[in-house]
Structure 1
Amino acid sequence: MSPRSIGLGPLVHHLGVWRSSGAGAAYRQLAAAVRLLILDGRLPLAARLPGEREVAQALGLSRTTVSAAYGRLRDDGFLVGGQGEAARTSLPAGPAPRQPQPDGSPKPGMIDLTAAVLPADPNVHAAYVRALERLPANLPGHGYEPEGLEELRETVAQGYRRRGLATSPGQILITHGAHNGLVHLLRLTVRPGAPVVFDHPTYPQAIDAILAAGGRPTPVALSDDGDGWDVDSLVSACRSSGAPMAYLVLDHNNPTGRMMRAPDRARLLAGLKGSETLLVLDETLVELTLSGPPALSASAVDAPRVVRLGSMSKSVWGGLRIGWIRADRAVIQRLAQSRASFDLGVPILEQLAAVELLNDGGAALAARRPLLRARRDHLRAQLAQRLPDWTCPRPAGGLSLWVRLPAPISSALVVRAEAEGLRLAAGPRFGVDGAFERRLRLPYTLPEPVLDQAVDRLAKAAKALGRRPKPATAIRGRLLPVY
């Protein structure tokens, strides 16, 4: 699917079961379903939709019904282009009617489970205080560091060496988080229309970045049982498509929390040996193993065509926009040269604070893992009690549960939960082509009492949906990112 054009087949697939008896006029239901797809990010902005006649024939509707649905979407600001022009997806230019929070911020009392991140602990403030004390020593310079401060690059390299990966500062590039690193790699490696292989489901912003770079998302599904990754299919997808890049989250997959076994990693590298595919491993969650052996030891395999993305956003604090790329020296040099047209480097103060936080000997993470383990188990227990027909596998690590629902109701449940004061990310947000309507990602990063309230609201939403299943009605406002 092109980022500027939505094919008829993908649109119908995204819509899924959009119509319910007793839920109002067909044109209203169709408009509501398309509106949700736009707000949820499954239909990109400024993308051309199929014509009314095509949609009517595919859905078994009259053209008048589809025309009325498109008209309603235009009136609400979710489509632009008048009669005779191609309809393109959009967002309302101003505050939408009856929307108390037009900026997309949570309403008072709203519980937000779209972000799988932890708040900062006291160590972050202390690190910034120490960084401010050290800042004057850096002020005589110009402050532009295309590759990052030497001190921070050495600190990051030390972390890799402790994992058994011989690394020098020249193999490290400091970025504005791991996502920024992925964007740099896509700009350097992927040409418009080129396939990018990834494990499916995956981090939503990674899919968005692939589309924004003009790449063609090429998913390889994780299995519902076993270890998850089909190594043979991954290798075949890369080699048969000639993909210049494969983006994988092996430690721990976001959203499933799974971790690839060391023997499978070795098979993956062996299978890609000699190929032109750059293997990009997103290790944002690598330090958040909660059960079993640590991912750090399993991930200590290396090859020249392997690039690793790291970040402090999940393990420390999302507001500390510090990440890095570990790669071959030649790749780092090319990235440092090309980034000038995109950004001019990372602020010095944040880099100094990152040095302080990374040099704590792992004490902060050691304190956080038991907290996360307790919250994970607490949330699973609450879901088992209140929603026993939901399946909640116990992830080895990460920050969220990947729940299996009893029916393909994820998008409808998200809409209903919003009315109950609970903000969620629908399962299809983590995939392409409308996949994962039977899935829901539920982070366990909030305190137990808040998780209890969230499960209570979720159970109410599920019960209301069971009484009268219906598609989205009206979530108005800005497209919300998922973290």
Structure 2
Amino acid sequence: MTSSVRGGQLARLLGQWHSLPGRHRSPDYAALAAAVRGLLSDGRLPLGVRLPAERELAEALGISRTTVTAAYRALRETGHLTSRRGAGSWTTLPNGHRVATSGLWAAEDDRDVIDMGVAASAAPDELVAAARDAAEDLPRYLGSAGYHPTGLMELREAVAAGYTTRGVTTSAEQILITAGTQQALDLVLRLSVPAGSPVLVEAPTYPNALAALSARRARINTHGLDTSTGWDGELLLGALRQSRPRVAYVIPEFQNPTGHLMPAALRERMVATAHSAGTELIVDESFVDLPLDGVEMPPPVAVFDRHSRVVSIGGMSKAYWGGLRIGWVRASAPLVQRLAAIRVGVDMASPVLEQLVGVRLLAKSSQLVAARRAQLRGRRDALVAALREQLPEWSFVVPAGGVTLWAELDGPISSALARAAEDVRVRLAPGPRFGLDGTLERFLRLPFTLPAEELAEAVRRIAAVRYDLDRPRPSWRTPSVIA
């Protein structure tokens, strides 16, 4: 089912379209068409969405229907709108252009490269001691085969205790330990998303989630996030009601890549709407441990779940270390058992020793996470200062948590900038990697997980190549694959 946007909703998205730069040189219809193209290029208006009828939009904007008719005609001429008599008009891109999203990252051992393509931190110093202590615990498990498809009970209990502390009562039987958050997502999708099923994701969103959904051959619909404010509640809930997706994947805590935090009221309404639409919510809580400015954290989405429609996934990659590969699923106990049965056909179980390391680290979570937050806060502030000094034309909202900053550039140059940055030994994650359709070229994800001096040097190098992008490049290169 094609989703649609009403006249009042599109008018709100367009905002002050009549006062955009260059407006005084353009007729009304051209300015309106340009504003709609801007929404498409930024990902705020998804592709394949039916636009309101000309009369409805004219009334919502307080302009003549003739102006809207001319704007729609201009959009059709540029390939941004497709119309069919009796069926309406829906958004497209010229020539059906699409950019395939790869969620992979090709790691390199080149220490001269400043890698800003990966949003993850180095391991804490305490990891080595935790590994030694875990090795001392290992003999307790050596008398068995070592296969624990749902995970070691002591680690499941520790994860469940964390959820209970956050306000959602959880037992160990509701926890499945996985090899990272990505495997947690993959297992849930294997169970919940048959080939061809409709799913809803945010735009922009995490590239590896898009890759996992593509592997399931899901039909992906998007809800565009506002650069400044995040989710538009009316549009998000409307997308759930209209498309009735099998699954909706959301990142409510310091969303990757925008850094936005979903308010509690919208969480509650989202769960209720998902239940009425028959939609399962997959809630990615990868960044929930990382508020940086004393922000009051909303309750977990699962708090509002009364019908087992919410499956929460998380892990230790962001607050602790990605190389540990410890993740989990929180769901109803019967669903956990079904996931474990699927998991046996994938990799049997997670390594026992790594799970024991996880137990040791979670036992010191207060100390370790507090140190990580302080570290990230300083690095974020260093990145913000460098951007404001070196690239003042760029705009962004300083995230109150998480590990990424979503920068709006001074032009649709994200992919070109990422290629140019390779020449100065900086790896970047361009905006289109976080979308589906070749949009988001005006955006760039910048993690602040590296030391402050490396972040400042990276921004200096990026600024140095930014102003050379209009010069002809002597050759083509294959862009590196980025996560």
Please name the residue that 1:246 is paired with.
248
Tell me the CA shift for residue 423 of structure 1. 0.8
Q: Deviations for 1:340-386, whole angstroms, at most 9, x for unmatched residues?
A: 22220100001111001011141011112122111111111111111
Map of 1:257-272 to 2, 5 A cutoff?
257-272=259-274
CA contact (8 A) 1:265 1:301 kept: no
Tell me the CA shift for residue 119 of structure 1.
0.3
Which residue among 361, 364, 379 is the counterpart of 1:360?
364
Runs of at least 5 residues in structure 1 that lack an aligned partner in the other structure:
1-57, 61-88, 92-102
Matches within 5 A, 1:430-441: 430-441=434-445
For residue 206 of structure 1, what is the amino acid of its counterpart?
A
State the distance in 2 between where 1:278 and 1:343 align.
Answer: 25
Q: 1:324 to 1:296 in 2, by over 3 A?
A: farther
Which residue of the partner structure matches residue 215 of structure 2? 212
Contact 2:227 2:258 in 1 (8 A): no
Q: Provide Cα deviations, 1:27-60, integer angstroms capped at 9, x if missing partner.
A: xxxxxxxxxxxxxxxxxxxxxxxxxxxxxxx999
Check if 1:135 corresponds to 2:151: no
Per the normalisation by structure 1, the TM-score is 0.75
Partner of 1:164: 167
Matches of residues 59-458 of structure 1 in structure 2 within 5 Å?
Answer: 105=108, 107-226=110-229, 228-295=230-297, 297=299, 299=301, 301-303=303-305, 304-458=308-462
Q: Is the 8 A contact 2:292 2:401 kept in 1?
A: yes
RMSD between aligned residues = 2.2
Q: Which residue of 1 aligns with 2:40?
A: none
Per-residue CA deviation, residues 172-229 of structure 1 (Å, 9 max, x unaligned), is 0000111101100111011111111111111100000000011112110001233x11
Distance 2:325 2:108 in 1: 21
Q: Which runs of 5+ in 2 are unaligned?
A: 1-76, 80-99
Partners of 2:107 and 2:283 in 1: how far apart?
A: 32
Shift of the 361–340 alpha-carbon distance from structure 1 to 2, 3 Å rule, reads closer
Cα 1:298–1:330, aligned 2, differ >3 Å: closer, same or farther? closer
The CA distance in 2 between the partners of 1:438 and 1:311, in whole Å, is 31
AA partner of residue 372 (structure 1): L
Given residue 331 of structure 2, which amino acid in structure 1 is its aligned partner? A
Alpha-carbon contact 2:197-2:218 (below 8 Å) kept: yes
| Structure 2: distance between partners of 1:424 and 1:218 | 26
Alignment coverage as a number of residue pairs: 381
Q: 2: CA distance between counterparts of 1:395 and 1:201? A: 15
The percentage of counterpart residues that share the same residue type is: 44
Distance 1:300 1:370, change over 3 A: farther
Please give the TM-score of this superposition, normalised by the length of structure 2: 0.75
Deviation for aligned residue 1:279: 0.4
One-letter code of the match for 1:112? D
Q: 1:26: which partner in 2?
A: none
Query: 8 Å contact 1:286–1:296 — kept in the other structure?
Result: no
Give the CA deviation at 1:275: 3.0
The 1:418/1:358 distance shift into structure 2, 3 A limit, reads same
Task: Work out the CA distance in 2 between the residues paired with 1:287 and 1:299.
Answer: 15
Deviation, 1:244, is 1.2
C-alpha distance in structure 2 between counterparts of 1:447 and 1:435, whole Å = 31
Give the C-alpha shift of residue 232 in structure 1.
2.8
